[in-house]
Amino acid sequence: MSEAFVNTLRRDYLDGADRSTAAVLLDQVPAWFADYNGVAPHSALRYRPPTEYRRLQQQAAHAATAAGAKEDTVSS
């Protein structure tokens, strides 16, 4: 894991978590990952969460593919 991810996980999730038992702590982890990937902005992704960034990339790829197909049709 990258150092940046570990620091973010500690700062944003672990430091304020209920750490009464290992089981309680581990029960919280899936929600942390869901938040990290679906809500929390990432500076490397232009302050978008990874799920939004991925969706925008897929939309752009689809639009480029559709535009290429349209050009092929017009030039034929």
pLDDT tens digits for range 16-58: 999 999 999 999 999 999 999 999 999 999 999 999 999 999 9
Residue 60 reports pLDDT greater than 80: yes
Give backbone dihedrals phi and psi of 15, rounded to 5 degrees, phi first: -60, -30
* Whole-prediction pTM: 0.73
Number of domains in the chain: 1
What gap in Å lies between CA 56 and CA 59, rounded to an integer? Answer: 5
The pLDDT, as a whole number, for residue 67 is 84
Q: In Å, how far from its chain's centre is CA 16?
A: 21
